[in-house]
Structure 1
């Protein structure tokens, strides 16, 4: 399984690299703080929302600690998608976050 650190993902965003992030946490977890621009697809709904994803696109998968995103990454890879797990999840994220529509700068 491909993995990137939260710091590496943050650097890609800062360098304006096209990054499509999918957060597999539950909506209430995402509402408490998310990476700006992330797409929320809870892990339990991922298989039902595959039609929203393109196999030609690269996805970075995010969760709270890296565990659920690891499961989602493995699932997506098994279906032929280009997915990478953000190891450490939001616990390791030091970049900007959006909380209830309000932008919070990096820590």
Structure 2
């Protein structure tokens, strides 16, 4: 059964996020380091939290894996990806690992 890993970058006072670096350098690194284990990747840039409401997240990266073993393999080599986070943001990322239902 497919599983997903979502990395959410919350907006809070005093935090910053460099979209150019994230999209061009960091996500390329994700592909290089972890890509052999990833079935699909989607990055969503936060625009709004609703009508006339600012976004609660700078971005959300969603990665789908064929199964738990593929996710575990990707996480086992993710060190360089995790170490790169301070180069584009000072927010504390949140992660959600889940079962893909549809």
Relative to its length, the structure with more strand (as a share) is: 2
TM-score above 0.5, yes or no: no
Higher relative contact order (CA 8 A, sep 6+): 2
Task: Return the index of the structure with the highest Cα Rg.
Answer: 2
Could you state the TM-score of these two structures normalised by the residue count of structure 1?
A: 0.27
